[in-house]
Structure 1
């Protein structure tokens, strides 16, 4: 059985968790997920879209009884697990490591080309 009050409370908790994790001050679930972008998996985005549709459906008196409470619960668990799994410090660290690796590769490539050019011109 679908309980609209429980749904709204869980939705508010998810929105608060998204605001804290991604440092966004305002917006509904759709805006918060758009702000999260690729930092959350596709399954979480699909589940959040389902929750947005459920919110619209719950507001309609004839469509509200058709809501599948099990599906809504699975969607909530998917979104909550994705939010909990995201570690901003780890993402920052990975971004810095990736930039450093890219810089190191480009420097090696540049010095290799300079050495190849010097050998070709007979300077070495």
Structure 2
């Protein structure tokens, strides 16, 4: 029989990855995934749900025996696969460039609007 995965360690590892890759601070995995929102795909949210549900079921005597450990390990792999794709430096750079692009557009738009008002 396969050894049971340590769900507390899996959750801590996932929370550490959320903090490192996305800057999300949370005490548990469901709150962390709620704060992540749409920055992660639906598959990652489902994987986190599997891990959270399994952790909750382990505290119950009968439900704890029905936890599918293979599904938990698969969910952990799916969640970390999505988190490993994220580059925090690239994400920060994209946010800064997006903000600067919006400001540049606003400056150009207001300049063209103000010159149109003065000339015509």
Partner residue in 2 for 1:96: 96
Normalised TM-score (structure 2): 0.77
What is the alpha-carbon root mean square deviation over aligned residues?
A: 2.5
- State the alpha-carbon separation in 1 of the partners of residues 53 and 44 from structure 2: 14
Normalised TM-score (structure 1): 0.75
- State the alpha-carbon separation in 2 of the partners of residues 111 and 32 from structure 1: 43
Unaligned runs of 5+ in 1: none
- State the alpha-carbon separation in 2 of the partners of residues 3 and 14 from structure 1: 20
CA deviations over 1:56-111 (Å, ceiling 9, x no partner): 11222222232233322221112111222222211111111101111111111112
Partner residue in 2 for 1:106: 106
Q: Which moved more, 1:89-98 or 1:34-43?
A: 34-43
Q: Which moved more, 1:32-41 or 1:105-114?
A: 32-41
Structure 1 residue 2, shift from structure 2 partner: 6.7
Rg bigger for which structure? 1
